[in-house]
């Protein structure tokens, strides 16, 4: 049911972990629904220099988190804000329809992290 790309990412995520001195942090999801995603970003000169995730959830949730991180690393905040759920799905080579909410969570976590950064920097 999962693409090779999704499985590969799930097995060996490159961006799992946390950034101790993060510029912004986003957290979405809940235990009830079985998915929680945390995204940490380190921002310098409006560019996402580093990004990490911590995820509680299924194969799709973990793979979506990792794909998201790769897609926004090195991007400006404006560029990152343009990222859509569908971009993550495409990047993963497709997700089963019932798992599309995992990509939604990824985008939401990213937006929360950027908002958190903006709030802290009064922008």
Partner 1 sequence: MKINLDNASTTKVDPEVVKTMKPYFTKHFGNASSIHFLGLEAKKALEESRKIIAEIINADPKEIIFTSGGTESNNLALKGMVFSNPNKHIITTKIEHPCIMESCKWLEKQGTRITYLDVDPEGFVNLEQLEKEITQDTILVSIIHGNNEIGTIQNLEKIGEICQKHNTPLHTDACQSFTKIELDVKKQNLSLVTLNAHKIHGPKGIGALYVKKGIRLTPLLHGGGHENKLRSGTENIPAIVGFAKAVQLGMDKKHNQHMSKLRDELIKELLKIPDSKLNGPKGNKRLSNNVNISFKYIEGESIGGLLNAEYITSSTGSACSSKSLEPSHVLLAIGLDHEDAHGSLRLTLSRFNTQKEIDSVIKEIPPIIKKLRKMSPLRR
Among 4, 21, 32, 45, binds partner 1 (CB under 8 A): 32
Cβ neighbours, 10 Å, residue 97 = 8
Give the chain's radius of gyration (CA, Å). Answer: 13
- Is position 102 annotated as part of the catalytic site? yes
Task: Pick between residue 38 and residue 85 the one whose CB is nearest to partner 1.
Answer: 38
* ∠ CA 22-43-83, rounded to 5°: 105
- Is position 58 annotated as part of the catalytic site? no
Residue 37 binding partner 1, by CB under 8 A: yes
Residue 27 three-state SS: strand
Q: How far is the CB of 60 from partner 1 (least distance, A)?
A: 8
Q: How far is the CB of 48 from partner 1 (least distance, A)?
A: 20
Residue 59 binding partner 1, by CB under 8 A: yes
Residue 101 token pair:
């909410």
User: Which of the following is catalytic: 62, 69, 88, 102?
Assistant: 102
Q: Where are the beta strands (DSSP E) in 12-123?
A: 24-30, 35-44, 47-56
Q: How far is the CB of 62 from partner 1 (least distance, A)?
A: 6
Give the count of residues interacting with partner 1 (CB under 8 A): 25
* ∠ CA 13-98-67, rounded to 5°: 25
Please list the active-site residues.
33, 102
Q: Which residues bind partner 1 (CB under 8 A)?
A: 7, 10-11, 13, 16, 27, 31-38, 53-62, 98
């Amino acid at each position: 049911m999962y693409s090779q790309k999704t499985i590969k990412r799930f097995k060996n995520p490159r961006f799992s972990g946390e950034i101790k001195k993060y510029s912004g942090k986003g957290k979405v999801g809940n235990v009830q629904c079985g998915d929680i995603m945390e995204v940490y970003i380190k921002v310098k000169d409006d560019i996402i220099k580093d990004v990490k995730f911590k995820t509680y959830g299924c194969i799709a949730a973990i793979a979506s988190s990792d794909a998201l991180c790769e897609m926004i690393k090195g991007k400006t905040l404006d560029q990152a804000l343009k990222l859509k759920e569908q971009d993550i799905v495409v990047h993963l080579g497709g997700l089963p329809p019932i798992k599309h909410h995992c990509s939604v969570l990824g985008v939401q976590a990213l937006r929360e992290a950027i908002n958190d950064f903006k709030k802290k920097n009064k922008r």
